[in-house]
Chains A and B, each alone.
Chain A
Amino acid sequence: MAEQNVVTPDLNFIKEIINAGGESLKKCFQCATCSVVCNVTPDSKPFPRKEMIHAQWGLKDRLVNNPDIWLCHQCSDCTAYCPRGAKPGEVLGAVRKLSLQHYSVPVFLAKAVGSSKALLLLLAIPTVIFLLITASIGTLSSIPRGEDGAIVYSKFIPVPYIDAIFITVATLAALSFVLGILKYWKGMSSGMSKVQGSLVNSILSTIIEILLHKRFKKCDLTKGRQTSHLLVFYGFVGLAITTTLAIWYLYGLKWESPYPLTDPLKIIGNLSALGLIIGITLVILNRFKNKEKAGLGSYFDWLFITVIYIIAATGILAEMTRLANIPLLAYPIYFVHLVFVFFLFAYAPFSKMAHMVYRTTAMVYAKQVGREIETDVKTV
């Protein structure tokens, strides 16, 4: 009976998927409408039909090791057409959450980010850090002003403190990502066919695909996501460039902030912030528009959306209140901004932010094993 695989269903894993936003999971009766309407699945062994039965049977290994769960871009066409309301899109979203919880290190942080109960504690960590810094350097009680009495945030928390904290946090997050990705690659390789072709080519073509957002074009129901996700994505890219420039200004040119609004750094930064806030607002609007057909999403989704929204909003408000010289608003807003940026960076490997790393890895892997689809747009 060598060809028969022993399957060992895991009841707890089924319950975890249900609790992670896949509560419709058990409704599936395997008609495969989902795989038929999906525009982003490969033709052979298409998803999400097989993922649905694996999820119903609690076959954890087959799901967390599976690149297909990340090839899914949650267009929700499957959910819209499902005759039983099993919402495969939402189920795969939940499976993705569990997959990255499975791989990310340390596990307790992953569990905490995934649970609404730990939210206050997670927020308390950066809040306490920044309170301690400001209290210890004395800026909490009286904040020094810049020339002409202008608000200068670097006098509230000096840049070296910021950099020390965020460079540490980012390094730890990057380390966690690397460990997670290595485990994930190993996991994928254990179940799938042999890797073929050049890794460099696979990575390059994946990056080009991401930069062009080609896959989002294939979605039918949630067509609008291409624009909104593109805006958020390039908002983050722009902000990353802004940060790099800022480091160069400070340490290379020895020029301290604030910078004039006409400076290229400010222009890039402000445009990116604008892109981010518009993008994330569209994300929210799209979700509400499609909630009947696609589902509203889970706690995990909304935590991420909210964090981005708060970061973008507080970033813009901090700048506006600074320019308007309203210190009573400006400093608290800036403080909140810092707390949420910390939240985003520190918990990136465990939050939905991690999708950018895991999905990219899965796409590279899929190209490596020849599990790729034509990029032409199919229509239903």
Chain B
Amino acid sequence: MDKKYGVYICKGCSIGESLDIEKLTKEAAKGAKIQAELIKKHPVLCSPEGVDFIKKDIEGEGVNTIVIAACSPRVKYDVFDFPNCIVERTNIRELVAWTQPPNTEDTQLLAEDYVKMGIVKAQKGDMPEPNIEETDKTILVIGGGISGMSAALESANAGYQVILLEKTPELGGWGAKLYKQSPGEYPYEKLEEPMVFSKIKEVQSHPNIKVFTSSEIEKTEGQPGLFDVTIKRNGGTETIRVGAMVLAAGWKPYDATKLEYLGYGQFQNVITNVQMEELASKGKIIRPSDGKEAKKVAFIQCAGSRDPNHLPYCSSFCCMTSLKQAVYVREKNQDSMAYMFYKDIRTPGQYELFYKNVQNDPGVLLTKGDVTGVSDAGDGNLYVEVENTLLGEKIRVEADLVVLATGVVPATAEPQKYLDGLAAAVSKGDDAKKAYIESTPKPEFILNLTYRQGPELPSLEGAYGFADSNFICFQYETRRTGVYAAGCIRQPMDMNSSAEDAAGAALKAIQCVEHIAKGIAVHPRAWDVTFPDVFLQRCTACKRCTEECPFGAIDEDEKGIPYYKTNRCRRCGTCMGACPERIVSFKDYHVDMIGSMIKSVYVPDEEDKLRIIALACENDAYPALDTGGFNRRSYDSSIRFIPVRCLGSTNLVWVADALSRGIDGVLLLGCKYGEDYQCHFVKGSELANYRFGKVQETLDRLQLESDRVQMIQVAISEYDKLPDMINEFVEKIKAVGPNPYKGF
């Protein structure tokens, strides 16, 4: 495209009063090497007159590459929307006029650098065009329980074709095994018929839903919009094409045989809450050992849950389940009693009302306490031994039947454990790998992806085998684009929550197939039509991109050369940051572009005039800077912020570019990583931290102090702390001293 430039400086919002706009025009034109006449000013650019001012140039002069030096690109994007034009926004309001003292030399130089960088960015960018392929919009739902059926119905009711896949011969999942269901609506008194049965009918009669029971996935190939899923059923296989998937493969109860101290397996009359549902379905509560009616039933909560030796987490619904089962006991015999020993009663939200109602029954006896064991009391009866009770002492209570409230193990746990073990073995060499494969029974996989990064969802440390679903911010997302997790596979939840969760995941799947069809990225850059362009001739097959891509978007051929499955890509640019050959580019974002911006920054010769580049994640750190600007939080004027798609896209060469130009320090502002990560791209900031750990070694070797480069984790809410973090870094650089390469 033949670029015709127009640069527009807004004088509104106190920009005009803080800066010498004439000087700004002159210096920016000189620095970015464009004609000064192309740089125009307007008192209020976002006003209708201001927008017309730009439009007139587009229509009259044929301007198609626009640089707007005004407010943050995060605001008024709807006002400065000029179709078929490259529009660059450079922020001299939040980052200059609102945070720096007016009319000083430093403030003026800062604004000049931002305008220059804006123009350079526009010069280096290109008009993006979407990559559109023929895709399929069918949604595959894996799992026929309450979550899966709900996701299927939500998608089907929205007009999408759905294939619902269930491993067992029947739909319904655990919900179909219940005698009754806990109440889901006010006044939370009466137990309800399990909701799955009406859902099963609805699913079976829905024209948009095809149900495959007794079916499993043998292989999943391709990418969103173009998944080819091979399904094993009826002794044969068939391959279907789908656009996106909802993973609702559910959970298993925790293996109670591991709870020896609670007598499971040792005493017949110690059963799990799942077995209790079966007993209740048959009529009176008849205990297994002698067929006598159980009149004193003890419920042990958190049996294996919230226990570091078993499941460290809370399984969310066991309190409601046991309260419900206590109602079974009481409704079937008014002379019976239900004891409940709990760590805490967790009945969140309106479920509190159900808890209160059940507690109000004189025959339901509750106490907090730590159950230390279950022992024989003769005649099939059992003693439950409890410490730290509210009764103020260690007690033993005799019961006819003991019910263990066992928790949730997600269906993803076993495959993840196996694959993590395999990865660890592989890292030890071929022999260890072979030994592992021979000695470890292979669990049933769910997705069987043919991805280079492995057949299942990657595991997240500290997530206990649940599907890593970016739970802090975007719960249904997984690290496999087009696969959305719903229900207990991503966190323990009850049936009402699962149904709601499924609706969320279904919406994400729908968004995915629609975006893919239009060539637009999915979450979180859900407007982006760019995609990675790779100059493969220079590829050295180092595999960094294929290994580091957080979403497994890049596979490899036999020679180790990567090939992109573009629809899996989230456009974070992690591969661009990883590539030592710098051959990955986007139309509006590439290594040379950011490098050139850095190089356009004016570095004064005076040793006391520091220059620092800060690469700021545009998802968290940059919004925090904007918020700081709204709140007029001031900080040192020597720092220039450059927004990056993700800190993972930061290429080491930018640091080299900066330091070799005499820039005194480079600050990287990224998201929190680790267990409670907030990175929109899951691994970006963590990878950046890893890479910059390496660059610091290199700096030390070049006699450049490693302190000059630092990464800081910033949450979007930390706008008030950010100025102090920035100033602290500036102080550190002052202490290190000016860059010795300054002036070369």
Contacts and interface: CB of A to CB of B under 8 A. Distances in A.
Given A26-B359, A27-B356, A29-B359, A5 B390 contact: no
A7 B356 contact: no
Interface stretch (B60-68, B149-157, B180-188, B363-371): B363-371
Given A6-B398, A9-B337, A14 B393 contact: no
B557 to A, nearest CB: 64
A229 interface: no
Contacts of A7: 391, 395-397
A26 B395 contact: no
B390 A30 contact: yes
Contact of A11 (B360, B363, B367): B363
Residue of A5, A50, A57 ringed by the most chain B CB atoms within 10 A:
A57
Contacts of A336: none
B392 interface: yes
Interface in B341-388: 345, 356, 359-368, 375, 383, 385
B292 interface: no
B609 interface: no
Q: Top 6 nearest A-B pairs by Cβ distance?
A: A14-B362, A26-B360, A4-B394, A4-B396, A6-B396, A30-B390
A11 B393 contact: no
B134 interface: no
A29 B368 CA distance: 10
Interface residues of A, number: 25
Given A18-B362, A57-B365, A11 B335 contact: yes
A198 interface: no
Contacts of B337: 9, 11
Nearest to B339: A9
Contact of B362 (A4, A26, A53): A26
Interface in B484-521: none
Contact of A3 (B363, B367, B394): B394
Nearest to A59: B391
A45 B394 CA distance: 16
Nearest to A56: B365
B340 to A, nearest CB: 11
A59 B391 CA distance: 10
A235 to B, nearest CB: 39
Interface in A220-257: none
Contact of A8 (B385, B390, B398): B398
Nearest to B366: A56
B398 to A, nearest CB: 7
Contacts of A56: 365-366
A56 B358 CA distance: 13
Contacts of A50: 391-392
A54 interface: yes
A27 B394 contact: no
Given A7-B396, A8-B398, A15-B362, A1 B390 contact: no
Nearest to A84: B356
A191 to B, nearest CB: 12
Interface string A1-39: 101111111010011001000000011011000000000
Given A5-B395, A26-B360, A26-B362, 6 more contacts: A1-B375, A5-B396, A6-B398, A7-B395, A27-B356, A56-B365
Contact of B385 (A4, A27, A57): A4
B472 to A, nearest CB: 31
Contacts of B395: 4-7
A15 B394 CA distance: 25
A285 B561 CA distance: 92
Contacts of B398: 6, 8
B362 A9 contact: no
Interface string B415-452: 00000000000000000000000000000000000000
A30 B359 contact: no
A320 B385 CA distance: 68
A1 B396 contact: yes
B385 to A, nearest CB: 6
B365 A27 contact: no
